[in-house]
Structure 1
Amino acid sequence: MTLVRRLARPCIAGIFISGGLDQLRAPQTKSEKADPVAQPITKALPWLPEDTETLVRVNGAVQVGAGALLALGKLPRLSALALAASLVPTTAAGHAFWSAPDGATRAAQRTQFLKNLSILGGLLLAAVDTAGDPSLAWRAKHAAKDVSRATRSARRATAAAPTRVLKAVA
């Protein structure tokens, strides 16, 4: 693992571990803001708990768990995806600057919204980071090319074989 990855992953993960612990300890402080976002999500995903306070706790647990894994470099791509998935509804619920009552609050919430959007970008980069190894898509594409080349070569060899046999007999 490069030095940049060793430093960047805990830097990104820290905010999630801290925020997730806060959600686990005091979900009621977040559930009122989360309710307008949580209800449509629970309708779309019926396997999630319907109670907003429980949903906030689940979100906090995901953030703590995935944040710790990312910080430690364990399952970094999967943990980055989990954090990205938890960040989207958290941002929509907590930083809805478009519905802020006054200009100062709107500006502060817009800044927090854009900060979270920036973190989301970092998480998406972490989710596709293969640490220098070729991605599965690259490997599959090149394996398909290798098979195609081998097939063409085998066809040519097979097509030329009867001619060689006839020449050898004559």
Structure 2
Amino acid sequence: MDVVILIGRILFSALFLFSGVGHLTQSKSMAQYAEGKGVPAAQLAVLASGVLVVVGGLSVLLGVWADLGSLLIVAFLVPTAAIMHGFWSESDPSTRQMEMIQFNKDLALAGAALMLFAFFAHTRDLGLTITGPLFTLN
């Protein structure tokens, strides 16, 4: 069971680690996109969100307060869904569809991250982790 959970953590974290590295290494082009979506201080927001998802992804991957890392990922995904993928304001049908897909993907991943939070904060024997949970749920 420990190995299955570890594989799941690796697969889940990979998306956020790659995304976060992209935020940090391609911040200028991402900031231009964010500015187009109305994000204030877009360059700073891109860099901060990159750090947020790298820290959250590493936390889940390595099992260092993975419950907190899961919450960091939620803190990235929910605002990103609402701010960056507002499909409701798109008039072009194909753009609306693409933004709706991205919005729903972000919400689904946020739900998965919340479930991971509950799992890490509730389960006593997490197996292959460096630390135990920071939070406790009963």
Partner of 2:123: 132
Paired with 1:100 and 1:59, the residues of 2 have a C-alpha distance of 24
Letter matched to residue 94 of structure 1:
M
> Are 1:34 and 1:90, in contact at CA under 8 Å, matched by a contact in 2?
no
- Is the CA contact (8 Å cut-off) linking 2:59 and 2:68 kept in structure 1? no
User: Which of the numbers 71, 76, 80 marks the counterpart of 1:86?
Assistant: 76
CA apart distance, 1:137: 4.9
Deviation (angstroms), 1:78:
0.5
Map of 1:121 onto structure 2:
111
**Structure 2 stretches lacking a partner, 5+ long:** 126-134
Residue 90 (structure 2) aligned to one of 86, 95, 100? 100
TM-score (norm 2): 0.79
Match of 2:54 among 58, 64, 77: 64
Contact 1:62 1:86 in 2 (8 A): yes
Question: What's the TM-score, normalizing by structure 1?
Answer: 0.65
Please identify the structure whose Cα radius of gyration is greater.
1
Q: Which runs of 5+ in 1 are unaligned?
A: 40-50, 139-170
Deviations 1:32-73 (Å, cap 9, x if unpaired)?
A: 44345644xxxxxxxxxxx32012101101111221121122
Partner of 2:128: none
Contact 2:23 2:47 in 1 (8 A): yes
Compare relative contact order (CA 8 Å, sep 6+) and give the higher one, 1 or 2: 2
Aligned residues: 127
What RMSD, in angstroms, separates the aligned Cα atoms of the two structures? 2.3
SS at match of 1:18: helix
Residues 12 and 119, structure 1, Cα contact 8 Å, conserved in 2 = no
Report if aligned partners of 2:20, 2:50 keep a CA contact under 8 Å in 1: yes
The structure in which a higher percent of residues are helix is 1
User: Cα gap change, 1:55/1:94 in structure 2, threshold over 3 Å: closer, same or farther?
Assistant: same
